[in-house]
Every structure is written in structure tokens, then in C-alpha cells.
Amino acid sequence: MPLTPLSCDRLYTPCPEDRLGFETTEELPDQDETVGQDRAVEAVDFGIGIRADGFNIFAAGPEGTGKTSLIRHFIGRAAAQQPRPSDWAYVHNFDDPNCPRALRLPGGRARDFQRAMDRLVEDMQAAIPAAFEGDEYRTRRQAIEDEFKERQEKAFGEIQNKARENGVALVRTPQALALAPMKDGEVISPEDFNELPEDERKQRKETMEHLQEELEQQMRQLPRWEREQREKVRELDEEVTEYAVGHQIDDLKEQWKDCPAVLDHLDRVRGAIVERVEDFLPESEEMRQLPSALRQQIGGRKELRLDDYKVNVLVGHENGNGAPVVVEDHPTQPNVIGRIEHQQQYGALVTNFTLIRPGALHRANGGYLVIDARKLLMQPFAYEDLKRALRNKEARIEAPGSAWGIFTTTSLEPEPIPLDIKVVLIGEPMVYYLLSHHDPEFRELFKVQADFDFRMHRTDETVGKLASLLGTMARRDGLKPLHRSAVARAVEQAARLADDSERLTTHMGSLGDLIREADYWAGKRGAEVVERADVQQAIDAKTHRTDRVREHIQEEIARGTLLVDTDGEKAGQINGLAVLQLGTFAFGRPSRITCRARMGRGEVLDIEREVQTGGALHSKGVMILSGFLAARFGQSGPLSLNASLVFEQSYGLIDGDSASCAELYALLSTLAEAPIKQGLAVTGSVNQFGQVQAIGGVNEKVEGFFDVCAARGLTGDQGVLIPATNVKHLMLREDVREACGQGRFHIYAVETVDEGIEILTGIPAGAPSESGIDGGAGWPTGSINRRVAARLAAWRRRAMEMMRAGGGPGGGNGNGAGGGR
């Protein structure tokens, strides 16, 4: 029984306006919950709740399905209920300046400690000089100096008296003290000394040698006395400094007595100030006599030394409660793990702990970090350093590539900060699958997959939630409310975007853009409410903006440049349908498929594969076609044919198996010498049992062929054959539905190849009889299958005759017995 075309009610599933239950979206409450992502919601809720190691989250789904907004909603809700994490700061390490110390402080108090230390340095710059300029300090230091002078004068005075008694003078020279002989109270010259009697000279020399030994002994005491003096001065300075700074540090320690880390640091600061008190004192007289450039350089270094007492707050949580939520939009390695900045000083780059800057890991520590996976993977070193931080549970600030040994320049090595964080990566499903397959560490660190679906079931409940969501989006964006007719059209478009009349897309980005564009068109006509016509105009306008290539192809088909017939009948020629995707716009493109057959060795040649313009899936479809042919017509002997299939005027890659039905119809038409109606186009894949299977893009394919036929004029004999399993996916344009309703265009849903070939040729396919199908006798007379079987049987007999005669099926004689490959 011949198939009848599909009725109009099966070509489109409308959204009844009377079932929406509202007039405009202003009547609907806000929809804060994500629609159609129950599985993803459960996964995110689980990933946030579990605190075990490695249970970080990867939110996988197509762009625009609301992954980021859902993640932020759930994380924000969870973070608000968690305690505020600790603050972190870096302080100078007085034992090892190249390794700054990390300081943990109670949440929200780091800035207070930073300001307290700044005030302490300011106070010390005033209090310490004042203490050292006081009368008490001056008196005590003068006493120490006087004591040293008195001891020195006493020691050398005794030697001087003894020398004078023995006629020897103690003379001070520019280099040191020296002894010289005297006579009558005057130092005598060497010439006069040589004129003295020998006994006297000898006696004086012995006396001078003895005095010289005593003098040298006293001179050797001078360094020790100077050290003692310096030590006493140092003790005095420390005592005065301790007096000046001690009570202020003690006050700070009282304020921070609940923070042991701060108390320890304050003790270190106290010791450093006492030890390096000169940092707080004004320039000495010797310093003021230096050249101005050198004085400025030394003064700059002094300012840097004062920075050692400051506090570099890395992360402070003084604003707000709860755990932090950080969304890192530019995940470079420094932005993720932190960086150490440098300053130019006197022609060199210098740094210190105050130039350490936090990364996203530090800001999100104790909370949640959200990163786009693709952006992260595009940044050098960022992904590996993030994994290292999660694996080691610490945030270590390093220069990019330092972990790889690329940079060897000496720099700071800040103490790593313990890490307690939940990381959420957001990306396409393919990114998740590739990382899972190629990176074992990824599987250990991101154990929770939140799988976002691209579609949801079309039910009254989901339609209602979608309507509320559209209303919420309109209010948040300051758009006009949507009339229920506009919502109904948006729901129908959501089904079209899902390529399924029983499903709705979850790509909320596309629906959001749709209502924004509809709001624009409503505003153009001065309306206060968005109507169905506005939504339709938005759809049509967007299509017009993006369909230049489709329009050009349609024009070339209409002009006859691209050969596609839409009337008449031809054997071995059929219209196949493909979908081209250009950006976000997809459209159907009809293509002519032709087949030629001859006697041969049972091979079906895929020309596209031979010239490497056919993809693997297309080649698979041709091989399945060969399997079907051999199973149906090769039971009583080998197939003695060679056939070639090709997409005419194709100049790029052809892939997918949706043309396998069309190719099989063309092959059967050639073998049966039965013309195919050129007003019909075919899409669908076939299996080895001859069943027609579903394909994608059915709406675009039907509309693509319809546009070609409409441009030439609809005759009422034109249409498209689609798989019966694709009927539920139909959401066709209104003009296509109108033409079908008027009988000017037809859509047939076929389940088997036999049904399709009967529609295409108008000849029954025929069913096999119980007596068998040898030589075509088992098929009904005049059927397509009988014609095919009979021709193949004739070729088989001819091949056997040629082999017995010493020839073969090859060699070709130009009239159907051409050689095979």
C-alpha cells in the first residue's frame, strides 16, 4: 500500500496559548532556579557539600546552557553559610630576607594589623631620635667616652712619667706614639745622641727598649678597650631603644594576645628595631658630608629597610561574612597563583616582600574558585601550577616556568600558604573528556562532573518554568513584558533549537537573545508588550543577517550553475540533502547524487573516499549499503557488478551517513533501470537490513529543498522522504507547512528502503516469496527488487560464461562489461 504524505499536524507542534495561564509575563513570579538541569544541579550540590580531597567540580556542557550562573548561584548560597576564612599577610623574615614569612590572622583583622605596624614605624621614627637626643642619653654616653679617655690617659701617663724620669720623651707622631731621648728637657737629635758617651747611649737604649715594650703592651690594650667602649655604647643604645619601643610593642601584644603568630612576629620586630636602631636615627655628620647622589642612594636604601617592619596584606576579609567566591576571567599563571613584582632602582630591578601580590587561589582560599577551563588551558603553566597547588594543598608563589627550571634568576621564595579551596572548572564536554582521557591527575583532582544537558523534556511543567524564566530575564534586563503569544512562539523556537518537537533547548543564552531582539522590534513599532509577531520578526531578521551563503547557493541552483533537478524522472540520479553549519546558522543544501553500474567483481566504489573528500562516516554508510545489497541479492552467488557513487559538484569534505539511503536508492534505480522522480529529495541512513534510520538536521534539510522547489514553482509533485523516526523532530517553518497543507509539497516518513524506492519510482518494491529469490524468480513480477535481481543474475551468468571461455569480467567491451578495479 503506497505511503501517504504526513498531515500538517505532524509537521509542527505548537504551544497552545490558552494553556499558558497568564496574559503577560508581568504576572509570573521570578524564576531563580535553573530549568531542565536536574542532573547537573544534583552534581553541583554534591560537589559543594563533600569536603573530601579531590572532589573538585568540572561543569561540562554547551556554551549558553547556564553553567556559570547556576554554579555561582549554588556556590554563593553555600558560601554565605560558611565561616569567614583567615586573613593572610606576608612579613619580612629577619633571619632570611629572601624567604618572607606567611602570617595567618583572624578573618577581617589583617588590615588593622597592617595599620598598627605602619603607625608603629611612624612612632619609632619620632620616639627613637627623641630618646637619643635626650640629656640622660647624652650624659650616659659621655660618661662612657670619658671613662675610655681616662683609662687611656692614665695608662699612657704612667709611661710618660716613667720615661721623663729616665730622660726619655713620649712623642705623638701622625702614625703612632714614639719614644725619643731627652737632654735638659729637650728632645735631642740623632746626631747629638750619637755624640753621647757610649755607656750613656747604651743605658738610654736599654731604658727606651724597656719603655717601648711597656708602650706596645698598652697599645695592644687599645682595641679591647675600644670594643668594651662600643659594647657599652651598644648596650646603652639597646637600653634606650628598648625603653622607647618596648611599651608600644607591649601595647600591640596586648591587643593581639589571641593571635600567637602576631605575638611571635612582634617579638621579632622588637629585636630587629633594637639591633638596627640606626634605621630610625637622622643622618650623621659623616653622612651629611657625602656627595648628594650618594646620600640619596643610601637614604633610599634606608627607606627600604624601614619597609621591613611593614605588613603586606595578601588577602583580607574585612568586608562581608561567609566564604569568598572568586570567578577568575583571565586565568594566567600569575593571576592564578600570584606574582612577585619588581621596582626599578638605580638601574636595577629590586623587590621585597611588600611587592608580593595574591592570585585567585589566595583570594578564594577558604572558599570557591571558578575558572573557564578553555581559558585556563590556553595560558602557559597555569593549568599545571593549579594542579600542583591542589595536589600539595598549598599556594606557592613562583615565577612562570620556575617549576620547569626555565628561570634561574634569584628572587624571593615566599613561604607557601596552606590551601583549603573548592575549584570549579567550566567548559565544553569535549574538554572534560579529553582531560579525563589524557591526564590521570585531572581524574584525581576533579572527581565530580556536573553534566549540563542541551535539552529538556517538553512538558506543561517545563513550559511553565521556561515562561517564568523568560519573564525574569525580561525584568532583569529592563525589557518589555512578553504577551503569552510571544512566550508560546519562544517555546516553539526552543523546540526548534532542540531539533525535537518533544524537547526544549536549555541554551538560555539563545532564548535570552531572542527576547532582547523581540523587545527591539516591539519598540520599533511603539508597543508596550512583546507580541508573537515581534518574536517571529526577531527570528526572521536574525536568519536574514546570517543567511548570505545559503542565499547564494539557492541562487546558483536557480540559475542552473549547481545542478539540482526538481521535476522529471531519471534513473541513477537522486537529490540528497546535507546540512551546512556556518557559525550559529545551519541550513540545508540539496546535492545531486548519481550512480553508474556495470558488470564487474561485486564492488561499490565510493568516489568521494577514493579522492579523499569523503569522511569515515560517509565511507561507513557506503559499506553498509554494499552489505545490504550482498545480503539481499547475493544469496545464490557472488555479485558481478561494479558501481560508482558520487556527490556531483562537491568540492569539500563530505561526511556523515545521512546520504546512504539516497545512494542506495540511486543504485537500485540504476540496476532496475527505473527512473527516480526528481521532484523528491531524500535523507536518512540505512542499515544492513534495509531499515531507514534517523539523521540530524531534518528541519533544515526539508526547508533547504523546499526553498529550491519554491523558487522554481511548486508543482504538487515535490517533497522530501525522511526517516519515520525523525517525524518527532519536525518543527518546520510556516510557509513549508502551508504548502504541505495545500498539497503543493509533501513529506513522506519511510521506515524501510522498500517503502522509499516505491515512492521515488512509483513501482512496487516487491516482497520475496517463499520459493526463493534465485535469479529474481522469488520477487513479484515487475517489482523493483525483481528487476534488480534479474539484472544481477544476468551479469553473473555472463561473467561465468566469460570465465569458462578463458576471459573474465574485466577487459571491457564498451557496452556494459567494463573492467573492475
Catalytic residue, chosen from 422, 465, 677, 701, is 701
Are β-strands 685-686 and 746-750 bridged in parallel, bridged antiparallel, or unpaired? unpaired
**C-beta contacts of 580-583 below 8 A and 24+ residues apart:** 580/549, 580/550, 582/546, 582/549, 583/546
Q: Which residue has the higher pLDDT, 546 or 301?
A: 546
Classify residue 386: in a domain, yes or no: yes
Q: What is the chain's Cα-based Rg?
A: 48
**The predicted structure's pLDDT at residue 814:** 39
Residues 6+ away with beta carbon under 8 Å from 262: 103, 105, 113, 256
Catalytic residue, chosen from 86, 591, 658, 669, is 658
Give 30-74 pLDDT, tens digit per residue: 887 778 888 989 999 999 999 899 999 999 988 887 888 889 888
109 pLDDT more than 60: yes
User: Could you give the 3-state DSSP secondary structure of residue 284?
Assistant: coil
pLDDT band at 263 (very low <50, low <70, confident <90, very high): very high
Grid cell of 639 as nine digits: 555479485
Whose cell is 522554481? That residue is 712
Mean pLDDT of 689-699: 91
Residue that terminates a domain, selected from 546, 569, 596: 546
**Helix 734-741 and helix 698-712, axial crossing angle in degrees, nearest 10:** 70
The overall average pLDDT reported for the chain is: 85
Mean pLDDT of 266-285: 81
**Domains: count for the chain:** 3
Question: Pick from 767, 773, 685: which is nearest to 725 by CA?
Answer: 685
Q: How far apart are CA 56 and CA 421, in angstroms?
A: 9
Question: Pick from 772, 742, 759, 559: which is nearest to 669 by CA?
Answer: 759
Question: Pick from 569, 800, 534: which is nearest to 666 by CA?
Answer: 569
**The predicted structure's pLDDT at residue 303:** 60
Write out the H or E segment, with its range, that includes residue 180.
strand 177-183
CATH for 483: 1.10.8.60
Classify residue 315: in a domain, yes or no: no
Question: Pick from 337, 262, 331: which is nearest to 86 by CA?
Answer: 262
745 and 612 belong to one structural domain: yes
Residue that terminates a domain, selected from 452, 481, 496: 452
Classify residue 309: in a domain, yes or no: no
Mean pLDDT of 495-502: 93
816 pLDDT more than 50: no
For the whole model, what pTM was predicted? 0.79
587 CB-contact burial (10 Å; exposed 0-12 / middle 13-18 / buried 19+) = buried
Q: How many CB atoms lie within 10 A of CB 185?
A: 8
Write out the H or E segment, with its range, that includes residue 578.
strand 573-582
Residues 6+ away with beta carbon under 8 Å from 277: 128, 237, 238, 241
222 pLDDT more than 80: no
285 pLDDT more than 60: no
pLDDT band at 241 (very low <50, low <70, confident <90, very high): confident
Containing structural domain, residue 500: 8-32+456-546
DSSP 446: B
527 and 630 belong to one structural domain: no
β partners of residue 172: 177
Residues in the chain: 821
443 and 461 belong to one structural domain: no
Q: Which residue has the higher pLDDT, 776 or 599?
A: 599
Q: How many CB atoms lie within 10 A of CB 611?
A: 10
Classify residue 64: in a domain, yes or no: yes
Give 457-483 pLDDT, tens digit per residue: 999 999 999 999 999 999 999 999 999
**The predicted structure's pLDDT at residue 651:** 66
Q: Are 426 and 67 spatial neighbours (Cβ–Cβ below 8 Å)?
A: yes
Q: Which residue has the higher pLDDT, 118 or 606?
A: 118
Phi, psi of 104 (to 5 degrees): -90, 130
**Helix 484-497 and helix 532-546, axial crossing angle in degrees, nearest 10:** 40
Residue that terminates a domain, selected from 709, 734, 759: 759
**The predicted structure's pLDDT at residue 815:** 39
411 and 496 belong to one structural domain: no
Q: How far apart are CA 396 and CA 361, in angstroms?
A: 10
pLDDT band at 389 (very low <50, low <70, confident <90, very high): very high
**The predicted structure's pLDDT at residue 66:** 80
Classify residue 717: in a domain, yes or no: yes
User: Could you give the 3-state DSSP secondary structure of residue 20?
Assistant: coil
**The predicted structure's pLDDT at residue 456:** 92
Establish whether 658 is a catalytic residue: yes
Q: How far apart are CA 773 and CA 793, in angstroms?
A: 10
Establish whether 542 is a catalytic residue: no
180 CB-contact burial (10 Å; exposed 0-12 / middle 13-18 / buried 19+) = middle
Q: How far apart are CA 502 and CA 462, in angstroms?
A: 11
**The predicted structure's pLDDT at residue 165:** 65
Q: Which residue has the higher pLDDT, 130 or 682?
A: 682
